């Protein structure tokens, strides 16, 4: 089924990056998507002249606001505009994102096979881990939001627009992508195992400086397949009672990480796999990082910390009880 995809290229004041990014877009296989270039103004409410001239050389459709909007506002305006002129999906490419040659093919495949999948909130093109070295064509569902080359879906735009950040000062906490990740609603992004994008923006970025270039792999379209959703990993470094109460509430077979000293409780839950931590690992965050290394593509849920899901944990309401647990281990 054909999709009306519009590519939204976002520029500001880095012409050298924007050029490389636009060149990569134009070089994509089967490049038949219209492109709109959205520029933000400098603090004095003028356009960066070099950036504007460059943008005009790639597309007649260069859009910019009357007043400076900041990164958050620019991307929101870009999406709103593209959906208002009939896009089903908008491929958002910031000026420091370089797409792979087969990126658009991947996007089209993803929209065809998962554009109507209600558990998928958006499609991303970037992936750092390359978790399945022998399976370059695998596509994963991840409970994340990744902004380095991503596709917004029209069916999701209304909810996204409502949740969009109101931060006008470009802080990290108020960054649009951080806010988007906070409003996942329990759903997933579709991500390739081999990245279809890389970030070259090592200098002068708005929210983050460091870039993480990764290798690209050109795959044949329609050969992708969706990996099953991985079992989540629950890290529970409490005692018997804590492990028991959490496991009792986990609905689906999962992976449970607990201390060696209390692993006996898992005899009562044969449906779950167990990862045993040494007794001297008392810090759930450390345990979680070890689990993340062991299960790079799995969702890691740390129990008994401030961010624990309250519906799952806290068999004892009193946090002092937890402190006692840890103190006496």
Q: Does 263 bind another protein (CB under 8 A)?
A: no
324: contact with another protein by CB under 8 A: yes
Beta strands 150-153 and 89-94, pairing class: antiparallel
Task: Tell me: does residue 215 bind another protein (CB under 8 A).
Answer: no
Q: Which of 196, 219, 4, 226 is nearest to 119 (CA)?
A: 226
305 makes contact with another protein (CB under 8 A): no
- Of the two residues 65 and 241, which places its CB atom closer to another protein in the complex? 241
CB closer to another protein, 225 vs 240: 240
Q: Is the CB of 44 or the CB of 311 nearer to another protein?
A: 311
User: What phi and psi, each to the nearest 5 degrees, are found at residue 72?
Assistant: -60, -45
- Which has the closest alpha carbon to 147: 203, 204, 103, 96? 96
Counting contacts by CB under 8 A, is residue 241 touching another protein? yes
Residue selected from 67, 223, 267, 280 as contacting another protein according to rule CB under 8 A: 267
Closest CA to 55 of 42, 37, 71: 37
Report which of 62, 66, 92, 64 is spatially closest to residue 176, judged by C-alpha positions. 92
Of 39, 172, 50, the closest CA to residue 94 belongs to: 39
CB of 30 to another protein, least distance (A): 53
- Choosing from 268, 283, 286, 294, the residue that interacts with another protein (CB under 8 A) is 268
51: DSSP letter: H
Residue with tokens 């009939």: 86
Nearer to another protein, 166 or 271 (CB): 271
Residue with smaller CB distance to another protein, 278 or 324:
324
What is the contact surface with another protein in residues (CB under 8 A)? 239-241, 244-245, 264-265, 267-268, 310-311, 313-321, 324, 328
């Amino acid at each position: 089924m054909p999709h009306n995809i519009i590519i939204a290229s976002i520029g500001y004041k880095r012409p050298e990056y924007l050029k490389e990014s636009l060149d990569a877009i134009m070089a994509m296989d089967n490049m038949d998507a219209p492109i709109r270039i959205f520029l933000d103004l400098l603090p004095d409410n003028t356009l960066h002249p070099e950036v504007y001239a460059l943008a005009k050389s790639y597309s007649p459709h260069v859009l910019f606001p009357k007043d400076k909007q900041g990164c958050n506002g620019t991307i929101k305006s870009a999406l709103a505009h593209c959906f208002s002129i009939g896009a089903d999906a908008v491929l958002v490419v910031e000026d420091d994102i370089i797409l792979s040659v087969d990126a658009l093919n991947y996007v089209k495949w993803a929209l065809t096979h998962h554009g109507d999948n209600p558990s998928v909130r958006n499609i991303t093109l970037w992936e750092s881990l390359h978790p399945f070295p022998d399976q370059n064509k695998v596509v994963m569902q991840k409970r994340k939001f990744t902004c380095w080359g991503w596709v917004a879906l029209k069916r999701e735009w209304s909810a996204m627009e409502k949740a969009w950040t109101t931060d006008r000062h470009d802080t990290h906490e108020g960054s649009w992508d951080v806010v988007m990740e906070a409003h996942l609603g329990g759903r997933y992004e579709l991500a390739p195992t081999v990245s279809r994008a890389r970030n070259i923006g090592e200098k002068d970025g708005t929210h983050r400086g460091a870039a993480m270039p990764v290798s690209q792999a050109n795959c044949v379209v329609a050969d992708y397949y969706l990996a099953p959703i991985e079992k989540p990993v629950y890290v529970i470094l409490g005692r018997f009672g804590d492990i028991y109460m959490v496991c009792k509430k986990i609905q689906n077979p999962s992976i449970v990480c607990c201390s060696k000293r209390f692993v006996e409780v898992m005899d009562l839950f044969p449906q779950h796999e167990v990862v045993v931590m040494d007794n001297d690992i008392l810090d759930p965050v450390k345990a979680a990082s070890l689990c993340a290394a062991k299960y790079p593509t799995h969702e890691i849920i740390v129990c008994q910390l401030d961010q624990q899901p309250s519906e799952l944990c806290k068999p004892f309401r009193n946090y002092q009880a937890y402190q006692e647990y840890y103190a006496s281990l």
